[in-house]
Amino acid sequence: MKGLRVLKPGPQSLLQDAGRYGWQHLGVSPSGVMDLQAAAWANRLLDNPWGTPLLEIALGDVQLEAERDTWVALCGADVPLSIDKQPMPLWTRLPLRRGQVLRLGFARSGQRLYLAVGGGFAGKAVLGSVSSQMREGLGGVDGAGRPLQAGDRLACRPASFLRRVSVPWPFQPDYQAKPLLRVITGGDAASFEEDQLQAFFAQVWQLSPHSDRMGARLEGEALQVPRRQWSLGVSRGAIQVPPDGQPIILQADHQTMGGYPLLGWLHPLDQGRLAQCPAHHPLRFTPVSVSDAQAEMREFYRFFGRG
């Protein structure tokens, strides 16, 4: 099947979908997109169902040649976009004709950009998902989880729309802003001294350059950590506090078990905002209730048509 041919793959471009769920009891990470909102908007612009496979592009510097007529949408990091060297807008549904070359520069703000095509990219599902998981060697264009390489082909079906459509500007995030990220306290939070919980929310943390798709590591004044004698299953957004007192927020490629005390969980919609922050970006946190987070997620899923 024809589609897009990779001329330049960028630092790390991965085929992703909504994730590989139902296998964590066997130690398989769910993976999936890092920024749920940007990916959902890219698919919505093309009338793709929830979780349709798309391309997650880290930092930009990608070139793709169309082998067939299709439509594309790119949402996420602020990256210079052109088609046949003509500047084009992000957060917009655009036609891409056979033989045209789509070029992306390096990100000016944000870290990850999502490229969707009409009908989605075709890929071989591994354990029910095409999501790339490099550590475990699952999914992606080759079934073994590797990033894109020059010469790869991303198969897609023909797609046709009558006109361009853009995401309204109030819904396009400002990735240069200093985010205030919401946390649902829980897990082992009651085992932390009260002044340590207050210290977590009071200080300005920095995102460590050692962060990746597995976990976002924070740097700041170390917290005093309670002892825990057992390991538990963990989920995305869990905030672990290891013995050095520097919290780790689990991301899409997180492990399935963990023994560090848990302070709580990052709001699911703020996980994507965190994924767009560069190294050393300042981060602040504020508490949010479970009920408020659930209500917002129900509204989000209704809008984007998740079944």
117 with 25, same domain? yes
Alpha-carbon distances of 121 from 67, 117, 156, rounded to whole Å: 13, 7, 5
**Structural domains of the chain, count:** 2
- Show which of 171, 203, 227 is a domain's final residue: 171
Domain CATH code at residue 189 = 2.40.100.10
Task: Please report, in tens digits, the pLDDT of each residue of the chain (307 residues total).
Answer: 789 999 999 999 999 999 999 999 899 999 999 999 999 999 999 999 999 999 999 999 999 999 999 999 999 999 999 999 999 999 999 999 999 999 999 999 999 999 999 999 988 889 999 999 998 889 998 888 899 999 999 998 888 888 999 999 999 999 998 889 999 999 889 899 999 999 999 999 999 999 999 999 999 999 999 887 678 899 999 999 999 999 999 999 999 998 899 999 999 999 999 999 999 999 999 999 999 999 999 999 999 987 6
Domain with 55 in it: 3-171
Distance, CA of 62 to CA of 113 (rounded, Å): 11
Check whether residue 148 and residue 207 sit in a common domain. Answer: no
- Same domain? For 155 and 81 the reply is yes
Say what the alpha-carbon torsion angle 276, 18, 113, 140 is, to the nearest 10 degrees.
Answer: 120
Give the whole-angstrom CA distance, residue 10 versus residue 205: 29
Residues 27 and 147 in one domain: yes
| 82 and 129 housed in the same domain | yes
> Quick check: 77 and 114 in contact, CB under 8 A?
no
Task: Label residue 24 exposed, middle or buried (CB < 10 Å: 0-12, 13-18, 19+).
Answer: middle
One domain for residues 145 and 184: no
Q: Which of 171, 201, 235 is the last residue of a domain?
A: 171
Q: Do residues 164 and 219 share a domain?
A: no
Q: Give, in order, the Cα–Cα distances in Å from 16 to each of 117, 159, 171.
A: 13, 20, 22
Domain shared by 26 and 166, yes or no: yes
Q: Among the three residues 171, 195, 211, which one is the final residue of a domain in this structure?
A: 171
Verify that 149 and 191 share a domain, yes or no. Answer: no
Task: Give the global pTM.
Answer: 0.95
Are both 142 and 249 inside the same structural domain? Answer: no
Within 10 angstroms of residue 131's Cβ, the number of other Cβ atoms is 31
With H, G, I as helix, E, B as strand and everything else as coil, classify residue 302: helix
* Cβ within 8 Å of residue 305, ≥6 positions away: 44, 49, 50
Same structural domain for residues 287 and 213? yes
Are 27 and 161 in a shared domain?
yes
